[in-house]
Amino acid sequence: MIDIHSHILNNIDDGARDLETSLRMCRVALENGINRIVATPHVRTMDNIDDFIRQRDNKIRILREKLTEENIDVEICSGAEVYVDDDIFFANDLTRLTINSSRYLLIEFAFRNLRLRKIYEYLDEVVRMGLVPIIAHPERYEYFQQDYEAVNSLAKNGVLFQLNAASLASLDGRQEFELAYSMAYSGLATFIGTDAHSLVHRSNNLSQMMRFFPADISKRNLEVMLRDGAAAVLADEAVPHLERKEIRKRSGF
């Protein structure tokens, strides 16, 4: 499996606190069948992207060396989780922040108080840069939890979504679970990532978590979300097509 969203690098954001933690997270990943991890540290401001890239690439190099030294067969790829707000309209090209130098950019938004029209403006700006946005953990945003039609609208327009495994294992709360489940079941999400920050905070103990995934999500959807979708991104190819159905908020879920 491939983990497309991980704060595996140490001392660059609120992820792994030291190199030893990064290594232990890699061991846990491998034990859980993850052999490729995209390192996606937070980028919260567009001001110093050069510094960020220098620091990130240095951390990746050190971690890769350690992995080789310790015979841990996990591949680390470069990426970022880019926080998008109005600053994006003044940002330089974000091409250097994409996943594995592909066309795909992992982005996140404010967790509440964001209008759908604004989200479309942000997405248009990313597309204008020649990039394909992937919205990280949509199930965690309050406005999507309250308005499934907004998710349907974005999905209909071809927007790609990444769910957190912990949400699907109902570890992150009821609202998160309900939306994550609806999206996974209905083919609206293309990726599941761990969003691991440490050994305990949304750990990458993925196979353990998968035991708690709802059993009625199709095998094909899971294969795409856990592997084939991310494999296409890493290869900078078109992501596999999933049959999409609209989601509906159910009372008494």
Query: Which strand ranges, in their side-by-side order, compose the sheet holding 75-78?
Result: 2-6, 36-39, 75-78
Residue 135 or 247: the one with the smaller Cβ distance to Fe ion is: 135
Residue 176 interacting with Fe ion (CB under 5 A)? no
Single residue of 9, 13, 43, 81 touching Fe ion by CB under 5 A: 81
Amino acid at 162: Q
Tell the smallest beta-carbon distance from residue 5 to Fe ion (Å).
Answer: 6
Distance CA 237, CA 240 (A): 9
User: How far, CA to CA in Å, does 58 sit from each of 15, 26, 37, 62, 93?
Assistant: 16, 17, 16, 6, 21
Residue 178 or 195: the one with the smaller Cβ distance to Fe ion is: 195
Residue 81 or 176: the one with the smaller Cβ distance to Fe ion is: 81
Residue 14 or 237: the one with the smaller Cβ distance to Fe ion is: 14
Tell the smallest beta-carbon distance from residue 7 to Fe ion (Å).
Answer: 6
Q: What three-state secondary structure class fits 209?
A: helix
Cβ pair 115, 92 in contact under 8 A: no
Tell the smallest beta-carbon distance from residue 222 to Fe ion (Å).
Answer: 21
Single residue of 166, 195, 209, 225 touching Fe ion by CB under 5 A: 195
Give the footprint of Fe ion on this chain (CB under 5 A).
81, 195
